[in-house]
Chains A and B, each alone.
Chain A
Amino acid sequence: MALIAMITGFLLILIGLYGALSNRNILRMIVAFSVANTGVNMVLVAVGYMKGRTAPILDEAVPAAEAASRIIDPVPQALVLTAIVIGVGVTALMLAYAYKLYEKKGSLDISEHTELKW
């Protein structure tokens, strides 16, 4: 189960990289980066998964005394929560800059924006 999630995550990273490198439209590149970002998050969550264990939330089914042997690793989940939020921020910034670029050149084609090319 964790292996499927991990392979899917790595595939999403590869798809995202392919999309970001092969497309010339800036909006498509932003979408591709979001896909790759999702893949990274999936891999991280999959690393924290342990077979036969449950979510790190204590209740009647998982009393605090047995928690250490019943729950999966909570640290990657906390890490991914942070990563998702920061990913949203990065996407918002990319969209804002894409708008600026469009406004300047009237085009979202990356080959029109040659200021940083050498």
Chain B
Amino acid sequence: MIKRLTLLLLLAGIGSLFAGLVLTYVPDETLNLTASYYAERTAEDLGAANIVTAIIVTYRGLDTLGEVTVLFLTAAIVGLVLSHTRGRSQSTGRAQDNTASEDGVTPTPATRRELPPTGELLTTGTRLLLPLILLFGAYVFSHGHLTPGGGFQGGAILASAMLLLLLSNPARRFGHRLITIVESTAGVAFVLIGILGILLAGGFLDNRILPTGTFGELFSAGAIPLIYTLVGLKVGAEFSSMLVSLSETEEL
């Protein structure tokens, strides 16, 4: 009881701080200096129609590289934390199988649980939707410089295709090798494009290593579509690897 009271008091305190923030909030009438620089210079300098993309991929490209690195580390740590589990449960499973075969006793049902069938809707739906979802993901990350969207969103859509596959058949096992190859190739290519920017253009991750092209077309904005495609593949591979790691903890 006293705990709940303290909790409510704490929340009331934080809530009153928030209320102060909301009541004194005055929205800006004009863009501030940084934002108006981005608004005025993006089309002319970088040739990207989507200013948010231009900020993420070029103006603050180094931060995006850091963000992708954080995601990579997360995927690696999830894999590491859960891989110990996986190894142990597999070895204990094998030990139980050995004792079972020696004693002539069948394995207990708890270790090998029968999954209920997935159902017609999910199976057929997966088959129908999977190519469409992959196509949509590729569309979103390759048009990131023109329309809302980009590498992170497209990558998440790619990973949702993976999630659908896992839902339709939880016992399905994916090779980690393909995911790792896609992920590391995209990462290396991202850094290489960044270094090419130092050599051929104004600095690290400068998108003008390729011609900026006609404003508003798919092959425009220099290296931005290329970088965002790589980011999309990398993010998709990282999310997929997290999903696969989490799904493999299930004892089947």
Q: Which A residues have a C-beta under 8 Å from some C-beta of B?
A: 2-3, 6-7, 10, 13-14, 17-18, 21-22, 47, 49-51, 55-59, 64, 67-69, 71, 73-75, 77-78, 81-82, 84-86, 88-90, 92-93, 95-97, 99-100, 103
Contact = CB atoms under 8 A, between A and B. Distances in A.
B246 A92 contact: yes
B11 A17 contact: yes
A55 to B, nearest CB: 7
Interface of A is mostly: helix
B122 interface: no
Given A75-B35, A88-B239, A58 B42 contact: yes
A59 B216 contact: yes
B249 interface: yes
Contact of A74 (B18, B28, B39, B235): B39
Contact of B81 (A51, A69, A82, A96): A96
Interface in B31-87: 31-32, 34-36, 38-40, 42-44, 49-52, 55-56, 60, 63-64, 67, 70-71, 74-75, 77-78, 81-82, 85
23 contacts: A2-B27, A10-B21, A13-B14, A47-B25, A49-B27, A50-B29, A56-B51, A56-B52, A57-B147, A58-B50, A64-B43, A68-B30, A68-B40, A71-B51, A74-B38, A84-B152, A88-B156, A92-B75, A92-B78, A96-B77, A96-B81, A99-B246, A100-B85
B112 interface: no
A97 B147 contact: no
Contacts of B156: 88
B4 interface: yes
Given A18-B7, A58-B43, A95 B246 contact: yes
Contact of B71 (A17, A47, A67, A89): A89
B40 A67 contact: yes
Interface string B206-240: 00000000011000000000000000000100010
Contacts of A74: 35, 38-39, 51-52, 55
A2 B22 CA distance: 10
B245 interface: yes
A113 B39 CA distance: 51
A77 B85 CA distance: 39
A50 B242 contact: no
A56 B4 CA distance: 45
B15 interface: yes
A85 to B, nearest CB: 5
B148 interface: yes
B27 A96 contact: no
Nearest to B242: A92
Nearest to B17: A10
A82 B51 contact: no
Contact of A57 (B51, B215, B245): B51
A71 B32 CA distance: 12
